Amino acid sequence: MAKAKSGPLARRPDNSAFKQQRLPAWSPMLTANTVLPFFYFMAVICLLLGIWLLLTVQSVQEIRMDYTDSGACAHCHDLRKNVSNAALICTCKLYFHVDRPLKGDVFFYYGLQNFHQNLRRYMDSRDDAQMVGRKTNLKKPSSYCKPFATNDKGLPIAPCGAVANSIFNDSFKFQYLGSGSSDEPVPLWRKGISWYTDKNIKYRNPQMDNLSLAEVFHGTAPPPYWHRPVYELQTHDAINNGFINEDLIVWMREAAFPNFKKLYGILQRTNKPFESGLPKGNYSVEITYNFPVQYFRGRKQVVLTTLNWFGGPNKFLPIAYLITSCLVLLAAIGLTVVCKE
Amino acid sequence: MNVRVGDIIKLENNQFVAADLLLLSSSEPHGLCYIETAELDGETNMKVRQSVSVTSELGDPNNLAQFNGEVVCEPPNNKLDRFRGMLYWREKKYTLTNQNMLLRGCVLRNTEACYGLVIFAGPDTKLMQNSGRTKFKRTSIDRLMNTLVLWIFAFLVCMGIVLAVGNAVWEREVGTLFQHYLPWDPSVNGFLFSAVRTFWSYVIILNTVVPISLYVSVEVIRLGHSYFINWDQLMFCSKCNTAAEARTTTLSEELGQVEYIFSDKTGTLTQNIMSFKKCSINGHSYGEVADPLGPQPKRLDFTPFNLLADPDFCFYDDTLLESVKVGDSHTQEFFRLLSLCHTIMSEEKSEGELVYKAQSPDESALVTAARNFGFVFRSRTLGTITTTEMGRTVTYTLLAILDFNNARKRMSVIVRNPEGRIRLYCKGADTVLLQRLRPCKQDLINITSDHLNEYAADGLRTLALAYRDLTEEQWEMWSESHQCADKEEDLLSAAYEQIEQDMTLLGGTAIEDKLQEGVPETIALLSLANIKTWIVTGDKQETAVNIGYSCKMLTDDMTQVFIISGHSVQRVKQELRRAREQMIALSQTKDGEREEVVEGCGEVCFMKFKGAGKQSQCPPSNRMDNISGDFALIINGHSLAHALEADMEEEFITTACACKAVICCRVTPLQKAQVVELVKKYKRAVTLAIGDGANDVSMIKSAHIGVGISGQEGIQAVLASDYSFSQFRFLQRLLLDVPDQRSLEYPKLYEPGQFNLLFNKKEFFICIAQGIYTSVVLFFVPYAILANASQSNGEPLTDYQTFAVTTATALVIVVSVQISLDTGFWTIFNHVFVWGSLGCYFTIMFAVHSQTLFSSFPNHFHFVGSAQSTLLQPVVWLTIALATVICIVPVLAFRFLKLDLKPQLSDTIRHTQLMCEKKRRPAGGRLASTWRSAGSVSEGRLGARGGSRRSGYAFAHQEGFGELITSGKNMRLSSLALASFASRHSSSWIDTLRRKKHAHTPPSASGECTPALSHSSSVLGCSQEAPTEVETVQDSRMIPTTSTSVEASEDLREGAVSTGSPSVAEKTAQKE
Cis bond upstream, residue B619 (ω within 30) = no
Least confidently predicted of B253-257, B569-573, B1039-1043: B1039-1043
- Residue B487 confidence (pLDDT): 64
Name, of B420-429, B648-657, B831-840, the range with top average pLDDT: B831-840
Average pLDDT (B296-322) is 77
pLDDT at B1000 over 60: no
pLDDT band at B914 (very low <50, low <70, confident <90, very high): low
**Chain A residue with the nearest C-alpha to that of B183:** A147
pLDDT band, residue B671 (cuts 50/70/90):
confident
Would you call B635 helix, strand, or coil by DSSP? Answer: strand
Q: Indicate the pairing of strand B705-709 with strand B410-416.
A: unpaired
Q: What is the pLDDT of residue B770?
A: 92
Q: How sure is the predictor about B596, in pLDDT bands with cuts at 50, 70 and 90? A: very low
Partner-chain contact B787 A257, CB within 8 Å: yes
- Mean of pLDDT over chain B: 77
In chain A, which residues have their Cβ closer than 8 Å to the Cβ of B874?
309-310
Q: Is B987 a residue whose pLDDT tops 50?
A: no
Give first-to-last CA distance, chain B, whole Å. Answer: 40
pLDDT of the residue at A41: 93
Q: Which of A214-228, B519-533, B831-845, B1053-1067 has the lowest mean pLDDT?
A: B1053-1067
Please say if B264 is a catalytic residue: yes
Other Cβ atoms closer than 10 A to B589: 10
Which pLDDT score, from 0 to 100, does residue A319 have?
92
pLDDT of residue A51: 94
Q: Point out the catalytic residue in the list B41, B264, B430, B737.
A: B264
Least confident residue range of A237-241, B152-156, B597-601, B891-895: B597-601
Confidence bin at B619 (pLDDT 50/70/90) = very low
Nearest CA in chain B to A331: B893
**Average pLDDT over every residue of B714-724:** 81
Q: Is the pLDDT of residue B331 over 80?
A: yes
Closest approach of chain A CAs to the CA of B794, in angstroms?
7
- Min CA distance, A324 vs chain B (Å)? 7
- Closest-CA distance, B238 to chain A, in angstroms, reads 6
Question: Domain extents for chain A?
Answer: 63-314
Give A181→chain B minimum CA distance, Å. Answer: 31
pLDDT tens per residue, range B1005-1034: 333 333 333 333 333 333 333 333 333 333
SS3 sequence of B937-961 = HHHHHHHCCCCCCCCCECCCCCCCH
Answer yes or no: are the C-beta atoms of B46 and B34 closer than 8 Å: yes
Minimum-distance CB partner of B798 among A46, A128, A255:
A255
Which of B26, B50, B31, B29 is CA-nearest to residue B1055? B29
SS3 annotation, B103-149: CCCCEEECCCEEEEEEEECHHHCHHHHCCCCCCCCCCHHHHHHHHHH
**pLDDT exceeds cutoff 90 at A328:** yes
Would you say residue B221 has pLDDT above 70? yes
Concatenated DSSP letters of B980-1031:
----SSGGGHHHHHHHHHHHHS-HHHHTTHHHHGGGTTHHHH--SS-HHHHH
Contact check, Cβ <8 Å, B228/A328: no
**Residues of chain B positioned with their CB less than 8 A from the CB of A105:** 794
pLDDT in tens, B436-482: 888 877 888 888 888 888 888 777 888 899 999 888 888 888 888 87
Q: Is the pLDDT of residue B11 over 50?
A: yes
More confident residue, A269 or B1068: A269
**pLDDT value of residue B1044:** 35
β-pair partners for A267: A188
- Assess whether pLDDT exceeds 90 at residue A21: no
**Position with higher pLDDT, A149 vs B736:** A149
pLDDT at A321: 93
Neighboring chain B residues of A250 at a CB cutoff of 8 Å:
795
Tens of pLDDT, residues B489-548? 777 888 888 888 888 888 899 888 888 888 888 888 888 888 888 998 888 888 888 888
Determine the residue type at A54: L
**What is the per-residue pLDDT for B815?**
94
The stretch B565-573 carries a mean pLDDT of 86
A171 at interface of B, judged by CB pairs closer than 8 A: no
Q: How far is A230 from chain B (nearest CA, A)?
A: 18
Test mutation, A5, A29, A83, A107, chain B, max B CBs within 10 A: A29
Q: B537 φ, ψ to 5°?
A: -135, 155
> Does pLDDT of B778 surpass 90?
yes
- Cβ–Cβ contact A319 with B under 8 A: no
Tens-digit pLDDT profile for residues B26-72 = 888 778 888 888 777 777 777 888 888 788 777 778 888 888 888 88
Could you report the predicted ipTM of this complex, rounded to two decimals?
0.93
Tell which wins on pLDDT, A198 or B296: A198
Query: For a pLDDT cut of 90, what percent of chain A falls above it?
Result: 22
**B611 has a pLDDT exceeding 50:** no
User: B84: which DSSP letter?
Assistant: E
Nearest CB neighbour to A20, from listed B233, B783, B829 = B233
User: Residue range B228-242: average pLDDT?
Assistant: 83
CA distance linking residue A77 with residue A91, whole number of Å: 10
Tell me what pLDDT residue A80 has. 83
Is it the case that residue A327 has pLDDT exceeding 90? yes
pLDDT at A288 over 70: yes
Taking the C-alpha atoms of residue A139 and residue B786, their distance in angstroms, rounded to an integer, is 37
Q: Is the pLDDT of residue B1042 over 60?
A: no
Q: Do B186 and A147 touch (CB under 8 A)?
A: yes
Are the beta carbons of A309 and B892 separated by less than 8 Å? no
Mean pLDDT along residues A183-205: 88
B942, pLDDT greater than 60: no
pLDDT in tens, A89-112: 888 888 888 888 888 889 999 999
Task: Tell me whether residues A166 and B181 touch, CB distance under 8 A.
Answer: yes
pLDDT at B740: 67
d(CA B728, CA B237) in angstroms, rounded, equals 11
Whether residues B740 and A142 touch (CB distance < 8 A) is answered with: no
Closest CB to A35: pick one of B241, B868, B892. B892
CB contact (8 A) between residue A13 and residue B178? no
pLDDT tens digits along B873-884: 888 999 999 999
Cβ of residue A143 closer than 8 Å to a chain B Cβ: no
Interchain contact, A25 vs B827, CB within 8 Å: yes
- Of the pLDDT bands very low, low, confident and very high (cuts 50, 70, 90), residue B297 is low
A128 close to B (CB below 8 A): yes
Total residues belonging to chain A: 341
Chain A positions in Cβ-Cβ contact with residue B830 (cut-off 8 Å)? 25
Instruction: Specify the pLDDT at position B917.
Output: 64
Q: Do A30 and B896 touch (CB under 8 A)?
A: yes
Between the two ends of chain A, the Cα-to-Cα distance in Å is 61
- Rounded to the nearest angstrom, the minimum Cα separation between B496 and chain A is 53
The percent of residues above 70 in pLDDT, for chain A, comes to 96
The yes-or-no verdict on residue B981 having pLDDT over 80 is no
pLDDT at B282 over 60: yes
Question: Residue B124's pLDDT is what?
Answer: 86
Contacts of B903 in chain A (CB under 8 A): none
Q: Label residue A40 by pLDDT band (50, 70, 90).
A: very high
A329 to chain B, any CB pair closer than 8 A? The answer is no
How much is the pLDDT for B175? 80
Task: Give the model confidence (pLDDT) of B62-99 as tens digits.
Answer: 888 888 888 888 888 877 878 888 888 888 888 888 88
Task: Average the pLDDT over each of A318-322, B366-370, B485-489, B901-905 and give the range with the smallest value.
Answer: B485-489
Which letter does DSSP use for residue B789 in this model?
B
Residue B801, pLDDT > 80, answer yes
Q: What is the pLDDT of residue A282?
A: 87
- Top-confidence residue, B923 or B952: B952
Dist. CA A329–CA B548, nearest whole Å:
60
Q: What is the pLDDT of residues B919-941, one digit of tens each?
A: 654 443 344 333 433 333 333 33
B790 vs chain A: nearest CA distance in angstroms? 4
What pLDDT sits at residue B1038?
37
Task: State the count of interchain CB pairs (< 8 A) between A and B.
Answer: 238
Predicted pLDDT at B289? 64
Q: Please, which pLDDT band fits residue B165 given cuts at 50, 70 and 90?
A: very high
Q: Which of B655, B660, B622, B619 is nearest to B530 (CA)?
A: B660
Q: What is the pLDDT of residue B928?
A: 39
Q: Is the pLDDT of residue A45 over 90?
A: yes
CB burial readout A128-162, b (16+ within 10 A) else e:
bbbbbbbeebbebbbebbbbbbbeeeeebbbbbbb
Query: Is B885–A21 a contact, with Cβ atoms under 8 angstroms apart?
Result: no
Question: How many Cα atoms occupy the beta-carbon half-sphere of B646 within 13 Å?
Answer: 0
Put simply, the answer to whether B178 touches A295 (Cβ < 8 Å) is yes
Please compute the mean of the pLDDT values over residues A220-233 and round it to a whole number.
Answer: 88
Question: pLDDT tens digits, residue range A230-248?
Answer: 888 888 888 888 899 999 9
Q: Residue B1053: its pLDDT value, please?
A: 39
Residues A310, B900: C-beta atoms closer than 8 Å: no
- Strand, coil or helix: B611: helix
